[in-house]
Amino acid sequence: MAYRAYRGRRRRGSGWGLVCGALAAGALAFGATWYLHVPIPAWIGSRDARAATETAVEATTPQPPLESAEVWLARGETAFASGKWTDASVAYRRALELRPDFEPAHTRLARVLVNQHRLADAVERAREAVNRGPRSADARAVLALALDWSGQVDQSVQAGLEAVELNRTNPTAVAALAEAYSDQYRLLEADALLTEALHAAPDDPDLYRVQGAIREARADYAGAVDSYRLAIDMAPAWSYLYVNLGHALRAQSQYDQALAAFSRAVELAPEDARAEGGRGMVYYAREEYEPAAASFQRALALDPAYPTAYAQLAWIHYARREYDLAEPLFGRAIDLDHDAARIAQYRHALGWIMLSSRRPSEAREQFTKALELSPNLQGARDGLKLLQGGAPTQASGAGRGR
């Protein structure tokens, strides 16, 4: 699945302002730039003469344009390109204060929220962008992306299809649909769409991120690393690219490089719970449970609604057979997560925890729900088989969520 005040400029005046204003009224009809030629009486001292001259000079100096939504949108784009998500958010929000119906600012703010992994806020903001610009392919593309990252893949596909229908030549829309298809494992379609998007925008780093995601869906982690590194070469300050890279490296057990990638993401975006959580996942993979738990606790301090951190803490307690501590954490992860495969894993683990405490009816319910979400989850099948022959007294090993 989250701002600084700016000052405008005022003209100064003096007693001469009344005289100057009267003399200048006729000149205003000839243009925005006007000149004052006010004779200074001899009896006026040098200080007053200098003040009058300064007033006339200031009046003839071109003034900066008034604040506008378009100006703040441009400032936001500059900050966005530099990976300064908070500064970009400030600028987009200022644009919306000046013009609440400005769809491009809603769309870009939604994208910043995605980059910050504030996914519930991103979905809400993207829906507002769609409401403000129902014919905007960009708005629907960002909605598709936010839904996809928050695990709502079917809705993401629908938003992506609508974006492409509005503008088939928009590479952002095409790539958003490709990413959603990859999460449905419709990989041939995803590849074709991504190729189309890259042909239209070969220098867009986010398209290479999508390419990496598709390669990860194929379990081509080495290829995914190549894609993410290429994206980083193009946008070295975009923190979420390092998070993607870290996960692909972790999948290949390249733990030192993965930790370096996540640490770089933390440096760039210290407020991003996912970057800190990624470090915890590397420690967990090394079975270094104390630093892993510390990373997940820091992640939850940054984002108390981060489901993976709850789940990973639960897996740590599960590995230690501290089932009474693991159970409520899995329950919290189930409440917050949207990804069906991960939720199936959490329910699978809960089933084994409940079997260990001789609660067979509750265990059967968890295994059944797990299989409804992930029919090929063998551990849940094994649990149901054991229930048919009597409840075991020891929990089975369970998989880990990402």
How many whole angstroms separate alpha carbon 133 and alpha carbon 372? 38
Pseudo-torsion of CA 177, 181, 182, 187, nearest 10°?
Answer: -110
Give residue 60's pLDDT. 53
Q: Are 323 and 314 in contact (CB under 8 A)?
A: no
| CB proximity list for 2: less than 8 A, separation 6 or greater | 89, 113, 116, 118, 121
User: pLDDT category, 342, cuts 50, 70, 90?
Assistant: very high
Going by C-alpha positions, the residue among 279, 253, 286, 252 that lies closest to residue 265 is 279
Whose tokens are 């369970």? That residue is: 398
In a domain, 5, yes or no: no
In a domain, 242, yes or no: no
How many whole angstroms separate alpha carbon 51 and alpha carbon 55? 6
For the chain, the average pLDDT equals 85
Question: What does the pLDDT look like over 346-387, one tens digit per residue?
Answer: 999 999 999 999 999 999 999 999 999 999 999 999 999 999
pLDDT at 343 over 90: yes
In a domain, 172, yes or no: yes
Pseudo-torsion of CA 189, 114, 121, 331, nearest 10°?
Answer: 80
How many whole angstroms separate alpha carbon 127 and alpha carbon 26? 50
In a domain, 230, yes or no: no
In the chain, the percentage of residues whose pLDDT exceeds 70 is 80
Pseudo-torsion of CA 7, 13, 19, 21, nearest 10°?
Answer: 0
In a domain, 302, yes or no: yes
Average pLDDT over residues 133-156: 96
pLDDT at 35 over 50: no
pLDDT at 1 over 60: no
In a domain, 119, yes or no: yes
At residue 76, what are phi and psi to the nearest 5 degrees?
A: -60, -40
Q: Are 146 and 119 in contact (CB under 8 A)?
A: yes
Give residue 338's pLDDT. 84
| CB proximity list for 263: less than 8 A, separation 6 or greater | 279
Give residue 62's pLDDT. 55
DSSP state of 397: P
What are the angstrom distances between the C-alpha of 74 and each of 90, 167, 228? 12, 23, 27
| CB proximity list for 323: less than 8 A, separation 6 or greater | 317, 353, 356, 357, 395
Instruction: Assign residue 138 the CATH number of its domain.
Output: 1.25.40.10
User: pLDDT category, 203, cuts 50, 70, 90?
Assistant: very high
Average pLDDT over residues 97-119: 96
At residue 88, what are phi and psi to the nearest 5 degrees?
A: -65, -45
pLDDT at 36 over 70: no
More confident residue, 311 or 40: 311
Whose tokens are 């809960």? That residue is: 350
Give residue 38's pLDDT. 34
pLDDT at 22 over 60: no
As for how many domains the chain has, the answer is 1
Give residue 339's pLDDT. 86
How many whole angstroms separate alpha carbon 11 and alpha carbon 61? 11
- Joined together, the tokens standing for residue 184 give 């449905």
pLDDT at 396 over 70: no
Q: Across 4-13, 41-50, 264-273, which has the greatest mean pLDDT? A: 264-273
What are the angstrom distances between the C-alpha of 261 and each of 6, 124, 273, 299? 35, 30, 14, 16
Give residue 151's pLDDT. 87
pTM above 0.85, yes or no: no
pLDDT at 3 over 60: no
pLDDT at 86 over 90: yes
- Picking from 26-30, 105-109, 150-154, 184-188, which range would have the lowest pLDDT averaged per residue? 26-30
Average pLDDT over residues 115-128: 95
In a domain, 19, yes or no: no
Question: What does the pLDDT look like over 154-190, one tens digit per residue?
Answer: 999 999 999 999 999 999 999 999 999 999 999 999 9
How many whole angstroms separate alpha carbon 185 and alpha carbon 217? 7
How many whole angstroms separate alpha carbon 45 and alpha carbon 57? 19
User: pLDDT category, 66, cuts 50, 70, 90?
Assistant: low
Give strand ranges (E) for 208-316. Answer: none
Give residue 67's pLDDT. 84
Structural domain for 218, as ranges = 70-224+294-388
Give residue 90's pLDDT. 97
In a domain, 181, yes or no: yes
Give residue 390's pLDDT. 55
